């Protein structure tokens, strides 16, 4: 009980550190980058969170949304890990802040991250890296734990959309 | 509150000394450099056994995992042993997913790890 209270308090504190989330209406094409199919018509309100290096706050936000959406504890852990890896890539490679957007429909919770970094390897994250490798586990983990991953990268930046099926 | 805390103690079990490092909080790319530096300091002391207690660590990402893998390689090279203890669910997941838990032994308690 004390632990729950402590966790809740920590999450709140961490989220306070984030810029206040803005509520984005899912108008067609407003959020989805070109090349992606648009947002699902049934999508509820989309929560947007800009981030820089505040990864703990981003994880707390994703954890809260995952639980609220009905993901099991294990799948919530997976989604938090996946989002943290992608946001960590922003910290490592992008020279500008990133944007996390979260929405749900009847069947899925979706976390989409956008930053100005560019991924040039079309097979990024598709091959299991060796444990001797100095890096490259991030996107591979994302592909392993999520039910579906869409990656769109061009000279203007990278958008990664991670889908998790809700228990049905 | 620091996101990550690391504390180190020298201990002994059945006449064998070992170094115990307790990592608590959340380890990610924003504090990996610090984690790596602190772990390198301990590896440089050339302990025969280095035990890392993960029970207080709520989260670990792939960059922190690489820091642990690096420690494992260094310990290997100098003829020592690295052992991990009590990972929480999120940390256990990344260890299992990457099969790092097949490379580095994972124990339920420091006592078991110290006994080898």
Residue B99 is predicted with a pLDDT of: 95
CATH superfamily of B4-115: STAS domain (3.30.750.24)
- Residue A55: partners with Cβ closer than 8 Å, 6 or more residues away: A84, A87, A88, A91, B26, B28, B29, B30, B61
- Kindly state whether B63 is in contact with chain A, defined as any CB-CB distance less than 8 angstroms: yes
**Alpha-carbon dihedral sign for residues B98, B100, B102, B107:** negative
Q: Is the pLDDT of residue B41 over 60?
A: yes
Q: Is the pLDDT of residue B78 over 60?
A: yes
| Residue extents of the structural domains in chain B | 4-115
- Kindly state whether A56 is in contact with chain B, defined as any CB-CB distance less than 8 angstroms: yes
All structural domains of chain A: 2-165 (3.30.565.10)
Q: Is the pLDDT of residue A152 over 50?
A: yes
Q: Is the pLDDT of residue A68 over 70?
A: yes
Mean pLDDT over A54-61 rounds to 97
Q: Is the pLDDT of residue A137 over 80?
A: yes
- Kindly state whether B55 is in contact with chain A, defined as any CB-CB distance less than 8 angstroms: no
Residue A43 is predicted with a pLDDT of: 54
Residue B48 is predicted with a pLDDT of: 95
Q: What is the dihedral of CA A93, A114, A67, A2, to 10 degrees?
A: 40
What Rg do the C-alpha atoms of chain A give, in angstroms? Answer: 16
Q: Is the pLDDT of residue A30 over 50?
A: no
ipTM of the shown complex: 0.94
**Among partner residues A84, A131, A138, which is closest to B99 by beta-carbon distance?**
A131
Look-up: residue for tokens 């961490």? A14
What Rg do the C-alpha atoms of chain B give, in angstroms? Answer: 13
- Kindly state whether B24 is in contact with chain A, defined as any CB-CB distance less than 8 angstroms: no
- Cα–Cα dist A165/A101, whole Å: 17
A85–B62 CB contact, under 8 Å = yes
Instruction: Look at B30 and A120; give whichever has higher pLDDT.
Output: B30
Mean pLDDT over B91-112 rounds to 97
Residue A136 is predicted with a pLDDT of: 77
Query: How close A114 gets to chain B, by Cα (Å)?
Result: 18
Helix boundaries (H) for A70-124? 73-93
- Cα–Cα dist B106/B95, whole Å: 9
The residues in A 104-163 lying below 8 A from B, measured between CB atoms, are: 131-132, 134-135, 137-138, 141, 144-145
Residue A31 is predicted with a pLDDT of: 44
Instruction: Look at B32 and A21; give whichever has higher pLDDT.
Output: B32
Q: Is the pLDDT of residue A19 over 90?
A: no
A145–B97 CB contact, under 8 Å = yes
Task: Tell me which residue of B26, B46, B5 sits closest to B94, measured CA to CA.
Answer: B26
Q: Is the pLDDT of residue B46 over 50?
A: yes
Residue B112 is predicted with a pLDDT of: 95
């Amino acid at each position: 009980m004390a632990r729950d209270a402590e966790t809740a308090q920590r999450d709140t504190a961490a989220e306070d550190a984030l810029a206040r989330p803005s509520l984005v209406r899912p108008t067609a094409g407003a959020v989805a980058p070109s090349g992606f199919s648009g947002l699902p018509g049934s999508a509820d309100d989309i929560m947007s969170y800009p981030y820089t290096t505040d990864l703990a706050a981003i994880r707390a936000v994703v954890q809260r949304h995952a639980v609220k959406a009905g993901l099991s504890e294990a799948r919530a852990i997976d989604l938090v890990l996946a989002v943290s890896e992608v946001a960590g890539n922003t910290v490592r490679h992008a020279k500008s802040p990133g944007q996390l957007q979260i929405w749900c429909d009847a069947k899925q919770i979706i976390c989409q991250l956008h930053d100005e970094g560019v991924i040039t390897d079309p097979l990024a994250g598709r091959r299991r890296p060796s444990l001797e490798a100095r890096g490259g586990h991030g996107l591979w983990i994302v592909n392993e734990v999520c039910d579906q991953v869409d990656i769109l990268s061009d000279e203007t930046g990278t958008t990664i959309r991670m889908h998790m099926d809700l228990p049905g | 509150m620091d996101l990550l805390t690391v504390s180190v103690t020298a201990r002994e079990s059945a006449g064998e000394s070992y170094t115990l490092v307790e990592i608590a909080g959340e380890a990610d790319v924003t504090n990996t450099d610090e984690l790596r530096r602190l772990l390198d300091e301990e590896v440089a002391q050339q302990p025969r056994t280095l035990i890392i207690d993960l029970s207080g660590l709520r989260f670990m990402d792939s960059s922190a995992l690489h820091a642990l893998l690096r420690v494992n390689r260094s310990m290997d090279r100098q003829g020592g042993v690295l052992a991990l203890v009590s990972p929480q669910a999120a940390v256990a997941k990344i260890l299992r997913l990457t099969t790092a838990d097949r490379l580095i032994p994972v124990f339920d308690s420091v006592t078991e790890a110290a006994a080898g």
